[in-house]
């Protein structure tokens, strides 16, 4: 078996372009929550030298001057595109490990002639035809090699987005061309340590004295070296690990000071968090809510409060009531709160629901509640989030995120489906 790392190029910007053809070939940037800073740029925007992570207000004039298109982050869109992306890859491999929103490791058998290029080419075309997302495919004997191959697929001209490091005749030359900072698992500090010892690239790291790496990094160092040599040490996670915690938190577009506003925000996050739990087939045993003022203010305030849920639950009204009851504990008068959130902890799979000995268990009403939640989720999925909503979080919140340049929910809301006029 060989490993390939499949990775979307400039994923958020590519998703935006895929639902809005007017953005194709135009420089485009995507902003973080609250339109704070730049988190994704397409190739045309990169060519203008707009840096990743730049605060929006600092580059606003420059963007306007160059005619760069701007979008607020639309996570409903990226999440949905990611799901479609992973589902398409599944048909092209033996095993799939979702690594991030736009990255997956796959296990794949080499054909008789060892050449995986036709496979990779077909997969790229398939993804592009279905989702208009450009991807890079890196192939290697190990996850680390696949990651480096993916880096080369993006950086080296003439690769057409595909790089097979495992069978390359010039593997050592390629490893030598990769700076040590760009090796998967080498952080900023570790890279400095390597450079001080004259280890400047991936090849030198592979051949560095093992005992020195072991002394510095422990077993991780030895694993990393073996992986570079082509010996598999990092296991392939066939099953997605169940989440241990689920958090929904946001910064407000302007500070809030009233209990009512905080209640509304907390309730909307609790509703979202319970939807997430149901999607993950999990129930929570502890709910924690928190809020804070700006980190840069002298009068910094931060407070959280928790409640144990008996029994575990993912029922919106139970989680909503629990979080609303906790809100007075974290609120403080006359303080400009800029962020709040809800964290669900002690998660369990919902089929193993632990029942409490002294709790009366009414199966009829439990089933009815489950069906109700499912119906609400289905309606919101079909017609867009907030089609069915809880009144606790108000109809026109003043605190919601700043998303001035938000694209429509083209893939998750029926009314937002793009219309093609021929």
By the criterion CB under 5 A, which residues form the site for Mg ion? 7-8, 11, 102
Q: Which residue, 119 or 151, is less far from Mg ion as judged by CB?
A: 151
Kindly tell me which of 6 and 270 has the beta carbon lying closer to Mg ion.
6
Min. distance of Cβ 7 from Mg ion in angstroms?
4
Task: Tell me the closest approach of the beta carbon of residue 308 to Mg ion, in angstroms.
Answer: 39
- When the beta carbons of 135 and 343 are compared against Mg ion, the nearer one is 135
Closer CB to Mg ion, 34 or 150, in the complex = 150
Taking the least distance from each CB to Mg ion, the nearer of 16 and 102 is 102
> 345 is written with which tokens?
């902890």
CB of 380 to Mg ion, least distance (A): 28
Nearer to Mg ion by Cβ, of 41 and 206: the residue is 41
Torsion of CA 133, 227, 238, 343, to 10 degrees: -80
User: 80 or 346: whose CB is closer to Mg ion?
Assistant: 80
The least CB distance from residue 15 to Mg ion, in Å, is 11
Residue placing its CB nearer to Mg ion in the complex, 136 or 208: 136
Distance of CA 275 to the CA centre of its chain: 17
Question: Could you tell me the strand order of the sheet in which 103-108 lies?
Answer: 95-100, 103-108, 2-8, 135-140, 162-164
Least Å from the CB of residue 45 to Mg ion:
15
Rounded to the nearest whole angstrom, what is the least distance from the CB of residue 101 to Mg ion in the complex?
8
Give me the least distance between CB of 41 and Mg ion, in Å please.
12
Task: In angstroms, give the least distance from the CB of 9 to Mg ion.
Answer: 6
């Amino acid at each position: 078996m060989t490993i390939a790392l499949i990775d979307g190029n400039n994923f958020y910007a590519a998703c935006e372009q895929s639902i809005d053809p007017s953005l194709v070939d135009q420089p485009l940037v995507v902003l973080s929550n609250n339109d704070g800073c730049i988190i994704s740029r397409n190739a045309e925007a990169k060519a203008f030298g707009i840096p990743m992570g730049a605060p929006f207000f600092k580059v606003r004039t420059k963007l306007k001057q160059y005619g760069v298109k701007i979008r607020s982050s639309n996570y409903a869109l990226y999440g949905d595109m990611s799901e479609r992306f992973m589902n398409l890859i599944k048909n092209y491999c033996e095993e799939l490990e979702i690594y991030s929103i736009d990255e997956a490791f796959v296990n794949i058998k080499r054909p008789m002639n060892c050449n995986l290029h036709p496979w990779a080419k077909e997969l790229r075309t398939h993804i592009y035809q279905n989702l208009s997302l450009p991807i890079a495919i890196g192939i290697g004997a190990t996850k680390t090699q696949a990651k480096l191959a993916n880096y080369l697929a993006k950086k080296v001209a003439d690769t057409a987005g595909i790089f097979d490091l495992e069978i390359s005749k010039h593997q050592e030359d390629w490893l030598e061309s990769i700076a040590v900072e760009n090796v998967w698992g080498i952080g900023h500090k570790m890279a400095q340590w390597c450079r001080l010892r004259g280890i400047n690239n991936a090849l030198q790291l592979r051949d560095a004295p093992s005992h020195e790496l072991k002394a510095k990094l422990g077993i991780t160092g030895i694993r990393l070296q073996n992986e570079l040599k082509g010996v598999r040490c990092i296991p392939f996670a066939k099953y997605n690990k169940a989440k241990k915690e689920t958090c929904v938190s946001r910064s407000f577009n302007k500070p809030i000071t009233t209990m009512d506003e905080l209640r509304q925000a907390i309730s909307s996050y609790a509703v979202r968090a319970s939807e997430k739990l149901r999607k993950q087939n999990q129930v929570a045993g502890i709910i924690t809510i928190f809020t804070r003022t700006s980190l840069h203010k002298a009068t910094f305030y931060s407070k959280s409060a928790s409640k144990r849920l008996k029994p575990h639950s993912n029922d919106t009204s139970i989680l909503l009531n629990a979080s609303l009851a906790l809100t007075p504990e974290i609120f403080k008068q006359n303080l400009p709160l800029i962020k709040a959130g809800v964290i669900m902890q002690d998660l369990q799979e919902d089929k193993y629901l632990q029942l409490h000995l002294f709790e009366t268990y009414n199966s009829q009403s439990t089933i009815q509640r489950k069906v109700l939640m499912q119906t609400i989720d289905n309606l919101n999925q079909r017609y867009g989030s907030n089609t069915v909503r809880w009144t606790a979080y108000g109809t026109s919140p003043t605190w919601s995120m700043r998303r001035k340049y938000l694209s429509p929910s083209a893939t998750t809301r029926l009314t937002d489906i793009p219309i093609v006029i021929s």
